Every structure is written in structure tokens, then in C-alpha cells.
Amino acid sequence: MPDVKLVPNIPTVEGIPIPPTTTKDEGSWLRPQTADDVNNPASSRWYLKAQASALRSGQYIGMTLHYLASPRPPNPNFTLTIPSLLSKYKGTFTLQFYTPKGYEEASKHGKRYPAVVNFHGGGFTIGNGTDDARFARYVLDTCDAIFVSVDYRLAPEYPFPTAVDDAADALFYIIRQSADLHIDPMKLATSGFSAGGNIAITATLRFNEHLKEIADPENKTPPVPDHKIRAIATWYPVTDYSVSRAEKRATCVKPEHTLPPTMTNLFDGSYLYPGDLRMDHPWLSPSRASDEELKDAIPENVLVYTCEWDMLQKEGEAFAKRLAAEPLNKTVHHRMIPGVPHGWDKSPDPLKPAMHTQEVYTDCCRKLLSIFNAAD
């Protein structure tokens, strides 16, 4: 990134100076073009791995406390380990299955259930497929659907686009094995929180790209059974890495409530690799995808939930508005939860349940139920 000469009285957020760009637009910021612009200077990969390991231990304690709050969230009914096929990093990852009441008995009689395929948050660096178990309960009870949470592989061990590749692999696996899993492949939705909210969107782009590859007569991959992704439910997602963290903090209504640079630097340094990775890559920044890419891949229904005190609020809202407008014309529901920071619903205090959670989880699941029912 070129040196930037700071002018007097330049604003700072959490000690970070906000430099002006060399463009004619006053009040604008320097926009990162590549990962090297974001991670400047870049940390060594081994150092990032050590940091990530420590943060994962801390996050485990926080989520353990989160689980203790009443009512206790459900445990997965079963887990499957599946191979990674799309990623250059070959290996396996797991799917956590939460099933509605009566699943075992109903499946004996050929019943098929809708499925919500979920992606946890954690900056692509921390987190587990069980982190959203509280949301899973609402999906099971309200939608009478199967909740599949994907333990995609994490950075820095597996940088971009591994998480997106694993997400698309999960969708293909669920569709191909839908009969054995008692899933209706014509009633699918993706969901996700934070980084997982990004994946809930970008997985459909990656999925659609591979569908085109499969359609090539030269491709030997077996055809994909009939299917339909009906909706995306994305919670406080990151949608645009071409906007710097400094700018996002500065334009947030409550910068003091945003994630600290020590954490976001780790997330970005881990996932945004190698250095020449462009920040406008559509599988990274869906806000920068073309109209054609979004029109083809994004399902008709999109539910976007943002947090008022979140540095990602404005980009989430802008993405929702773009999807709803010409020429995309998607059916979009956007709701900003007032007075809450990023990830408010994952409160680690077992004695103080996060406000608004029951209401907005119910709102989301009722909308998903309506979308699934409309497909009959």
C-alpha cells in the first residue's frame, strides 16, 4: 500500500488514523485492493496459528457459558464427516444434524423435511458447528425443518476460499444424499452468522459456479439431482472487504462497541491470504459481485438481520437494498436490531439472556416457514 500523508486533525478510531484517499471525493478513505493492503505488515502464518489457537480456547469458554443459559440449546442428533472435493486443500469436515421431533418415525414413512444449512461465525478463524444451537431450536420448532450446521475448515490453516468451497461441498452432499437424509431438496435455505453470514451468501455463488462446470459436456462429474435453494437468512454478515476496517469503525454509530483491531487483524490476516488476493473477489465480497452473478445465484428470498452498533451494519443494509432494487428484484426483508453490537445473540452471560433474540429468531423462522410452504 502506498504511503499516505496525513493531514492535521485527521480522525482516529481506537487509535487508528483514518487516512484520506488521493481521489477527488472529500471525506473518503483509502480502499484496500488486495490482502497485502489489508494485512500491512503481514504476520507470519505460524504466529497467526498460535494466536488463533489461544482465541479458540477463550471462545470455547464463552460458548460453554452461553450454553448454560436457560432454556438449554439442543445437541446434534447425529454428525457426518464428508470429503472436501472443491477445495485445493483435500481433507474432510463435519456436518452437525439437528432433527425435528418425530423425525425417526416420520422418515420410515417417506416424509421429507425442508433443510436449513447453517454456517457459524468467528471471523473464518474460530467457532464450531454447534455455536448456533439456540437458533437451531427455533428452526426445528417453528419450521419443522432439519438444521444442518457445517463445521467448515478454519483459517489460518485453511485460508480463503476454503470455507466457501466447503460450504458448497456441503450443499452438493446434502442434495445428492437427500433421500437417505429424508430432506426435500426442493426446500433448502442457507443461514449464517457474521463470517457465516458471508458464507450463507457466497456459498450460493460458489455452488452456482460449480453447477456451470458440471454442465460442461467435458466434465465427468455426475449430474446434480433436482433441487431449489429457496432462501438465505444472513445475520450481521460481512459483505465488502474492499472497505477498510478503519472506515467501517469510523462510520459506525457506536465505534466503541465494535470488535477490537486485535481481533479483526487476526481474522483478516488468517483468512485473507495470499497477499495478491483481491478484496473485490465475489466469493469474498458479495457486494462486489456483478448483477449477473447475483441474479443467477442468489435465491428469490433473502432475509438480512443487522445490528445497530456493528461496523458491518451499513454494508449489510446496502447489500439488502441492492438485492431488492433493479435489476435484481429479489424479495428482501431487512431488519436492523436496535441498540445491540455485533454478535449480541451469543452473549456468554448465562444469567442475562440477550435481548430481542427470541423475537428476531422467531421472526426469521416464521418467514422461512412461509417460504417453504409456498413451495408446495
What mean pLDDT value characterizes the chain? 91
- pLDDT of the residue at 355: 83
- pLDDT of the residue at 217: 84
The percentage of the chain sitting over the pLDDT mark of 70, rounded to a whole number, equals: 91
The answer to whether residue 50 scores a pLDDT higher than 90 is: yes
- Taking residues 44-72, report their average pLDDT: 88
- pLDDT of the residue at 28: 57
The answer to whether residue 25 scores a pLDDT higher than 50 is: no
The answer to whether residue 18 scores a pLDDT higher than 90 is: no
- pLDDT of the residue at 62: 83
44-374 maps to which CATH number?
A: 3.40.50.1820
- pLDDT of the residue at 362: 98
Instruction: Map out the domains of the chain as residue ranges.
Output: 44-374
The answer to whether residue 8 scores a pLDDT higher than 60 is: no
Stated pTM of the model: 0.91
The answer to whether residue 166 scores a pLDDT higher than 70 is: yes
The answer to whether residue 22 scores a pLDDT higher than 80 is: no
The percentage of the chain sitting over the pLDDT mark of 90, rounded to a whole number, equals: 80
- 304 contacts 359 by C-beta, under 8 angstroms: no
The answer to whether residue 21 scores a pLDDT higher than 50 is: no
Distance of CA 201 to the CA centre of its chain: 7
